[in-house]
């Protein structure tokens, strides 16, 4: 049976999931192995000669490959779609980072315009100024035709998503839990709204609860999904700080709000190539038009 | 206004800097040809000791860890959707530009010439692919320090099965190069089979010397270099700060 969009068989999709469960490589290196092989099923068969008999621990159940195909359809009925590294619809920016996940679960729809997206992130315990800054940057990005990406956390993330929606823009959430969960619970309505009209993405099994390790892994995916990351307000321990580091590793620009320079980590980051200190969303847009120009004039 | 400021080579070349690692000079534990790790007392890695050495000097800009960000950029600047490809290709162009601007004199000196007369690229493996896969050529044509001397002087013969092996029938030069010093450019070095085959063809056409600048020296992390160290261990032990002021010939 073939997926109507991309002609990748459900069996291949199931094989990607089986590999995620079987873990022949860390989760963030599996996609590369599958792409090199060109087929998840072939890679799986190389690992287990009797694939049909093997059981995989997927989403809190132990299942065969056949049953996994059924799972894919069951998730679809639940409103949870799947895109794998073998699908053409796999997000274009994310494909370009080395530690991309082999599969993404999502509610809503993926859109080619998501390639023109910017992540706006920051602390859960934001100051009023921080929330204002997040809203301002979000509005400026929407005004310039960018998709606003964030993580649906309290504080800066919520402000960024909400302002994008209010400005009539598209916003995408990359969450640190499976898609059956909401974190924080207070963002349930916002998550449902984004999932209905835009897209909520997760690299985790739908039943996965938020854990200390899920949120940082999510930051890597958010960085990869977007052209750039804007950090609004973030302490030393914040996931946003981690995302700034990951974005630089991905070769993506990082924009730091000037107020962050009160923190030592931000001072250090601001010195690194690829990091820019900014005062407004308009400045982010200006930099991005330059950094992502179609016709590039390089000067020595 | 930022918009009016063009993108500088320095700025664009920095994009993958946190994933870049300077390639080690020849010395104990390092292949004198290509810079990969070897067990002592060997001086060359297995591919470099079994492949005829046609290149007079090999200078990779950075190590490229298998499935790491540099490797990924080197693979996908040729594929991907246009906007993504443009971004990666521009960054790789900037890396090449910045590197040759600083280090072409070192490469020429190692080849015993004051400067290179001709710059060319290692072609794709088949004539068909070589017509379609134009991005490496586009990069060199856009690279200011090299563009004036760029010339497409090599073609794949199509007589050799695809694969990485050195083969003297793999490429052929399209013109006489008698007495000319040639700078060869490639994106990735894995075993050196293609680059050495290209250098053979250049020398058959009369080139006096051939130096290679290649962006990534591929590293397979699982390779067991010594009893207790893999390539991955040695790669991870490299200084994390990429230094543009040195090359492996310093």
- Whether this model's pTM surpasses 0.95: no
| Residue A92 touches partner B, C-beta closer than 8 Å | yes
Touching check for B141 and chain A: CB below 8 Å?
Answer: no
pLDDT at position B3, please? 45
Instruction: Indicate if the pLDDT at residue A49 is higher than 80.
Output: no
Give the span between the Cα atoms of A200 and A218, in whole angstroms.
12
Q: What is the sign, positive or negative, of the torsion defined by CA atoms of A77, A82, A88, A91?
A: positive
| Residue A4: pLDDT over 50 | no
Number of domains in chain B: 1
Spatial separation of the C-alpha atoms in residues A252 and A87, rounded to whole Å: 23
Q: Residue B244 domain-assigned?
A: no
Residue-level pLDDT at B4:
59
Any chain A CB within 8 A of the CB of B84?
yes
- What average pLDDT does range A143-153 have in this prediction? 98
Integer Cα distance of B13 and B62 in angstroms: 12
A78-82, A122-126, B31-35, B130-134 — which is least confidently predicted?
A: B130-134
In a domain, B238, yes or no: no
pLDDT per residue as tens digits for the range A167-224? 999 999 999 999 999 999 999 999 999 999 999 999 999 999 999 999 999 999 999 9
Closest partner residue to B69 (CB to CB) among A251, A283, A287 is: A251
Residues in Cβ contact with A189 at an 8 Å cutoff, skipping those fewer than 6 apart: none
CB contact under 8 A, B67 and A290: no
Does any domain span residue B243? Answer: no
Q: What is the pLDDT of residue B7?
A: 87
Contacts of A96 in chain B (CB under 8 A): 72-73, 76, 80, 84, 87-88
Residues of B in contact with A115 (CB under 8 A): 81, 83-84
The answer for residues whose C-beta is within 8 angstroms of residue A18's C-beta and 6 or more apart is: A40, A44, A51, A54, A56, A58, A65, A68
What's residue A3's pLDDT?
A: 45
Task: Assign residue B170 the CATH number of its domain.
Answer: 3.40.50
CB contact under 8 A, B83 and A294: yes
With bands split at pLDDT 50, 70 and 90, how would you rate the model's confidence at A2?
very low
Rounded CA-CA distance B102/B120 in Å is 19
Q: Is B141 contained in some domain?
A: yes
Q: Could you report the per-residue pLDDT of A254-264, keeping only the tens digit for each?
A: 999 999 999 99
The average confidence (pLDDT) of chain A is 93
Task: Supply the pLDDT for residue A5.
Answer: 44
Q: Do B97 and A298 touch (CB under 8 A)?
A: yes
In a domain, B236, yes or no: no
Q: How far is CA A171 from CA A53, A84, A253, A292, B225, in A?
A: 42, 21, 20, 20, 48
Asked if B132 has any chain A CB less than 8 Å from its own CB, the reply is no
Q: How many angstroms separate the CA of residue B16 from the nearest CA in chain A?
A: 5
φ, ψ (nearest 5 deg) of residue B156: -75, 140
Per residue in A91-114, pLDDT (tens digit) is 999 999 999 999 999 999 999 999
User: Which residues in B lie closer than 8 A to residue A33 (C-beta atoms)?
Assistant: 67
CB A101 within 8 A of CB A46: no
Query: Per this entry, what is the length of chain B?
Result: 250
As a residue count, chain A comes to 300
ipTM of the complex: 0.88
| Residue B156 falls inside a structural domain | yes
Q: Which candidate, A297, A296, A249, A258, places its Cα nearest to that of A276?
A: A258
Distance from the Cα of B3 to chain A's closest Cα (Å) equals 5
Beta A56-58 vs A61-63: how paired, if at all?
A: antiparallel
| B249 in a structural domain | no
**Other residues' Cβ atoms within 10 Å of the Cβ of residue A10:** 18
Q: Which residues of chain A are within 8 Å of residue B142 when distances are taken between CB atoms?
A: 298
B247 inside domain: no
- Residue A7 pLDDT greater than 80, yes or no: no
- How high is the pLDDT of residue A48? 83
- Which residues of chain B carry a pLDDT beneath 50? 1-3
pLDDT at position B133 is 87
Minimal Cα–Cα distance from B82 to chain A, Å?
9
Q: Which domain holds residue B213?
A: 9-231
Chain position carrying tokens 């000079």 = B25
Residue from B43, B1, B33, B22 nearest B103 by CA: B22
């Amino acid at each position: 049976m073939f997926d109507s969009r991309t002609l990748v068989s459900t069996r291949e999709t199931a094989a990607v999931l089986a590999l995620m469960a079987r873990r022949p490589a860390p989760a963030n290196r599996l996609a590369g192995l599958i792409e090199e092989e060109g087929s998840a099923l072939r890679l799986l068969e190389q690992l287990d000669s009797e694939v049909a008999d093997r059981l995989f621990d997927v989403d809190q159940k132990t299942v065969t490959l056949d049953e996994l195909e059924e799972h894919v359809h069951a998730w679809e009925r639940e409103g949870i779609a799947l895109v794998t590294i073998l699908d053409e619809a796999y997000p274009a920016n994310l494909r370009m980072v080395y530690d991309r996940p082999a599969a993404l679960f999502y509610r809503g729809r993926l859109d080619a315009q998501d390639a023109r997206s910017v992540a706006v992130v920051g602390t859960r315990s934001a100051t009023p100024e921080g929330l204002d800054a997040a809203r301002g940057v979000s509005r400026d990005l929407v005004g310039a035709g960018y998709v606003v990406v964030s993580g649906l956390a309290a504080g800066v993330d919520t402000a960024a998503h909400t302002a994008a929606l209010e400005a009539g823009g598209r916003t995408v959430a990359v969450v640190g839990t499976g898609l059956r969960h909401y974190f924080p619970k207070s963002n349930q309505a916002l998550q449902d709204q984004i999932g209905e009209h835009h897209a909520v993405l997760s690299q985790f099994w739908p039943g996965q609860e938020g854990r200390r390790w899920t949120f940082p892994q999510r930051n890597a995916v958010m960085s990869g999904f977007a052209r750039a990351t804007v950090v609004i307000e973030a302490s030393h321990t914040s996931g946003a700080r981690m995302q700034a580091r990951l974005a630089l590793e991905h070769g993506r620009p990082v924009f730091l709000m000037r107020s962050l320079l009160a923190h030592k980590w931000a001072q250090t980051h601001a010195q690194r190539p690829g990091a820019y200190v900014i005062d407004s969303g308009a400045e982010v847009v200006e930099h991005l038009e330059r950094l992502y120009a179609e016709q590039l004039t390089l000067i020595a | 206004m930022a918009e009016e400021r063009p993108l500088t080579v320095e700025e664009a070349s920095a994009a993958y800097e946190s994933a870049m690692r300077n390639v080690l000079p020849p010395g104990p534990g390092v292949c004198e040809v290509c810079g990969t790790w070897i067990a002592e007392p060997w001086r060359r890695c297995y591919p470099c000791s079994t492949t005829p050495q046609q290149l007079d000097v090999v200078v990779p800009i950075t190590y490229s860890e298998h499935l790491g960000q540099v490797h990924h950029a080197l693979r996908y600047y040729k594929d991907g959707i246009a906007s993504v490809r443009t971004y990666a290709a521009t960054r790789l162009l900037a890396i090449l530009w910045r590197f040759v601007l600083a280090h072409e004199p070192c490469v020429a000196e190692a080849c015993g010439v004051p400067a290179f007369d001709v710059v060319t690229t290692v072609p794709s493996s088949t004539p068909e692919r070589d017509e379609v896969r134009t991005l490496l050529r586009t990069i060199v044509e856009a690279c200011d320090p090299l563009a004036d001397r760029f010339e497409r002087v090599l073609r794949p013969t199509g007589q050799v099965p695809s694969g990485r092996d050195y083969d003297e029938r793999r490429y052929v030069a399209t013109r006489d190069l008698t007495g000319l010093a040639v700078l060869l450019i490639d994106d990735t070095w894995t075993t050196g089979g293609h680059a050495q085959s290209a250098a053979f063809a250049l020398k058959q056409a009369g080139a006096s010397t051939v130096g290679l600048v290649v962006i990534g020296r591929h590293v397979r992390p699982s390779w067991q270099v010594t009893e207790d160290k893999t390539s991955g261990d040695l790669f991870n032990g490299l200084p994390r700060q990429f230094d543009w002021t040195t090359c492996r010939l310093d």
